[in-house]
Chain A
Amino acid sequence: EVQLLESGGGLVQPGGSLRLSCAASGFTFSSYPMGWVRQAPGKGLQWVSSISDTGGGTYYADSVKGRFTVSRDNSKNTLYLQMNSLRAEDTAVYYCVKFTNVGGWYEDYWGQGTLVTVSS
């Protein structure tokens, strides 16, 4: 059974930093791209970042480019999101997602999410 368990969320002041982690199990982690999708309170879904299976390719939404860094440790089956220069508009539940490719890469499994609140 695929499991994605996020951690690291919490309350942080504007301009601060936070690192999210996602521990994966139930599949061959190193074979799949992974990513992060967020959802602001009461709002819709927004793709944040993706990373290739090897970690050699990283991709970001314009709204977080230059502030967030996605990485992975395939030896630990763990995905990370380093978030710097946080803003109030970054407040959201952050979901870890696994991608699959059956004709195009799409998210087939989601973690339960971790809440990030940016407020003074």
Chain B
Amino acid sequence: EIVLTQSPGTLSLSPGERATLSCRASQSVSNNYLAWYQQNPGQAPRLLIYGASNRATGIPDRFSGSGSGTDFTLTISRLEPEDFTVYYCQQYISSPRTFGQGTKVEIK
């Protein structure tokens, strides 16, 4: 099973700042089969990024994904008020498909 470790656990930033979220895999994620999801409290997760760097439909361009192999990054270029929430990475190259434990982006 591929274990995904997200860091930091909590990121404290101000609106307008840049957020950099990390996701490290215990084994190589081939073909960059890695996704990022955003989850607001009490709501379902929303797909942000697939294939490590492809934005999903309707996702603002301030969200970008990068990385390969075992190290992946989600970057939010300028934080908007609605971006302060929880983010999860997920690998879908091997079974079982697994998620990271999440990073919470909070207002500083």
Contact = CB atoms under 8 A, between A and B. Distances in A.
Given A45-B45, A111-B44, A106 B96 contact: no
Interface in B19-67: 31, 33, 35, 37, 43-47, 50-51, 54, 56
Contact of B92 (A46, A61, A106): A106
Contact of A103 (B31, B43, B47): B31
Interface string A38-68: 0000001111000000000001011000000
Interface residues of B, number: 25
Interface in B56-108: 56, 88, 90, 92-93, 95-102
Contacts of A111: 44
Contact of B47 (A47, A59, A106): A106
Interface string A95-120: 10000001111111111110000000
Interface string A17-57: 00000000000000000000000000011110000000000
A38 B96 CA distance: 14
Nearest to B47: A108
A104 B31 CA distance: 8
A73 B47 CA distance: 26
A45 to B, nearest CB: 4
Q: Which of B31, B33, B43, B96 has the most CB of A within 10 A?
A: B96
Contacts of B44: 95, 110-113
B73 to A, nearest CB: 18
Contacts of A61: 96
Interface of B: 31, 33, 35, 37, 43-47, 50-51, 54, 56, 88, 90, 92-93, 95-102
Given A107-B35, A110-B44, 12 more contacts: A44-B101, A44-B102, A47-B98, A103-B33, A104-B92, A105-B92, A106-B47, A106-B90, A106-B92, A107-B47, A108-B47, A113-B44
Interface of A: 44-47, 59, 61-62, 95, 102-113
